[in-house]
Structure 1
């Protein structure tokens, strides 16, 4: 037995942020950017694809749905595998799946083939985001953990936005095949970089004898001190045999249920807005250029809101920050519909909605990585995101029903405030949780 034991979290928290930690955060951000791009790519190629294959938009619906279902499956299943075999190997495997699936999609000539490949690709995409968040969290010191991980997570929104810019350049020249080629080659190039430069999670390696030498080497790079005699351990109190059981332990079950409820509600609204906001703006008489500009405020506000809220969360250590933001989002939703005829007011309303709604959603993903012990962390983040994926599927598919039930376009926004209000109540119940 080693008497010279140190908790790995204490070492990370005491040391200044090192070049190795910055490298991990940057690589996680890049992977999330590519994940966001590949998640959005099918939407950008849809108009070109419908013309090339002589399809109606409704005939492409299975392709969209398959990607979402694949992401749900990937987030649910690969979280457990990451807690058992490590974050790095799952991230590399996920990149391989995304690269292979996206490149193979170029060769398809039917909706059925594309639907099957999109499901497979979605499995890889669904695993990248939660495991990147988990790894970034485990390399971040507690004093700035939420802010650092939020900066990495913001890559997903940036990937969504970059997809539109890249599509505008590539689609007119190379059609839909060219955009898929970019989406497949990018993760393929990143695989060898991740193999060489991305280390395994410190928390995952701590306490495992087979990783002792490698862990000591990585810690020496972070602290600048070599001490081969130290045995690094995890100092966590929640220890159960199964990662899934840890989610429902007496110390974690409340936050698990709160996260699932909030994730479902926020991603339901976010994906419904992402899918249907351009149509709402078009029906309200906005030209394409102005419509795109207004719709872009949703992700842009989310990036800025996520960073501001992350800074507050690191300082205040309370979920009340997100509760207040959720209340503002619900109020903004009820007011947004009345601004459809007023471009500047609508632009401001969508920005505030992005700042509060999307910003809160981004921070929920990060917070999930701080609530669970190491042996269940990837599962906790993945399953919370799976609840969100279920919400995104319901949101994307229920837009038509919502439009048919609403008396006017402005009523759509009032209806959308309802699930956000439910999320507010859920967050309020857990708002006194510190740390």
Structure 2
């Protein structure tokens, strides 16, 4: 009996010839993040209008922002752990249906209680969809370009967030804030239907789970249509198979503890500034200008995420220090927003300042998100990304709270933005520590040596079952 030929699936992925297949996965994940971003930011674009319609103190809106963050935090962790059991594909579809349905329901809210409940449930799905998309595209892209593709996904997210701002600027004053939630819900459900018929499962996940080789062969043929799969060929992955116990515990084993904590703190501090601006900028600006201009300026802040792919390109070449510099420099445009408002700067200056702030705040955060998908092995990649998102949401909870506190204390607008920029500096310091702990450019030097294990054919292979 002839010996089986064993082939590392990483070699197939890195040499795939049917780039349309990976491109289609990238496009589908971008669609998910587009509606994810629209539905997530819809509450921020409509907040000033809702406060005016319901004639309420703006500080009382803080629990709605918290419901958003807590739901997102819970969803990112729960859906990621579910995905490591039922697959990236099914988890992503479920998350998309959830956030779309409850976003539509928000259009029927009549008070803070039901609005908060709907927003919490929608955010469970919003938080779950993003790490699924990141893990899926990371599993199918060439290792050399993984950071670029992951950050490129956020082009879709940016289309949703920026488009939502410009759409809100046109619709809220004419048809009301409710229409924004209805548009987001309907489009999201349509995208979920498309995913059911077109989204593939991760081939890496299938191997880790021990799926039959016949299923794996189908995906190999889609990546390399002319590849000759000889009888008895067995594909494997140089990582651990699914293991017993709580997956999150593996984030702290084999030398991963320090890098995990530094990643969490870097994201957490970044999210304090991120959510301070995202949640409160429209409400603060509404004291100075009409709502249509408010939402356009907020949209320009979100447009900074359009350049997230640049950070992926730079991270692939220069590593984590790219994020370190971005975070440290990013405090400057955040502070300038406050000075521009007090100085009576014109509309276009504010637009440019908001764009610069968004480039550093959001672009740098996207870079950290990409790093979270590069430093963990496949069997905990979803959990690693999801846990990082969940930990970061603790910082995100502080963003709305910081804004509410500063407003309650009647802190001058300039000092609000000065204080709001401080977490950016702290995020940069943590990113510096992370770069000293794990070298993304040279993964063989990382404490846990995951990349080296992937490339050594006789060490810890996890073949699928026939």
TM-score higher than 0.5:
yes
Structure 1 range deviating more: 81-90 or 236-245: 236-245
Q: Match of 2:11?
A: 10
Look up the match of 1:300.
303
2:4/2:232 contact within 8 Å kept: no
Equivalent pairs counted in the alignment come to 432
Instruction: Give the corresponding residue for 1:423.
Output: 427
What is the alpha-carbon distance in structure 1 between the residues aligned to residue 153 and residue 11 of structure 2? Answer: 22
Structure 2 vs 1, CA of residues 383 and 232 (structure 1 numbering), >3 Å: closer, same or farther? Answer: same
Deviations 1:339-385 (A, max 9, x none): 54244665554433322221110111121111111111111111111
Say if 1:300 and 1:354, in contact at 8 Å, map to a contact too. Answer: yes
Structure 2 spans left out of the alignment, 5+ residues: 442-466
Task: Assess, with a 3 A threshold, how the Cα gap between structure 1 residues 347 and 194 changes in structure 2: closer, same or farther.
Answer: closer
1:64-93 Cα offsets, whole Å, 9 max, x none, are 322221111111211111112211111111
The 1-side partners of 2:210 and 2:329 are apart by 49
Contact (CA 8 Å) 1:240, 1:246: kept in 2 or not? Answer: no
Q: Does 1:314 align with 2:316?
A: yes
Separation in 2, partners of 1:57, 1:359: 29
Equivalents in 1 of 2:334, 2:39: separation in Å? 29
2:91 maps to which residue?
90
1:397 match: secondary structure: helix
Q: CA RMSD in A?
A: 2.8
Cα distance change, pair 359–380 in 1 and its aligned pair in 2 (3 A): same
Q: Which moved more, 1:109-118 or 1:424-433?
A: 109-118
Equivalent residues of 1:282, 1:291 under 8 A apart: yes
Contact 2:59 / 2:404 at 8 angstroms: preserved in 1? Answer: no
SS of structure 1 residue aligned to 2:187: helix
1:65 partnered with 2:69? no
Match in the other structure for 2:234: 231
- The farther-off stretch of 346-355 and 391-400 is 346-355
Give yes or no for the alignment of 1:164 onto 2:168: no
Report matched runs for 1:392-411 at 5 Å.
392-403=396-407, 408-411=412-415
Tell me which residue corresponds to 1:434: 440
Question: Which of 254, 263, 268 is equivalent to 1:264?
Answer: 268
Q: Deviations over 1:13-52 (max 9, x none)?
A: 1224611111111100110110111112223344554565
**Match of 2:446?**
none
> Which residue of 2 is the match for residue 214 of structure 1?
215
Shift of 1:417: 3.2
1:171-191: per-residue Cα shift (whole Å, max 9, x none)?
Answer: 455434433222222222122
Runs in 1 of length 4+ with deviation above 6 angstroms?
none
- Is the alpha carbon distance of 1:54 and 1:299 closer, same or farther for their aligned partners in structure 2, counting shifts above 3 Å? closer
- TM-score, normalisation: structure 1: 0.89
Tell me which moved more, 155-164 or 127-136. Answer: 155-164
| TM-score of the pair, normalised by structure 2 | 0.84
* 1:248 equivalenced with 2:248 (yes/no): no
Tell whether 2:23 aligns with 1:22. yes
Gaps of at least 5 residues in structure 1 are none
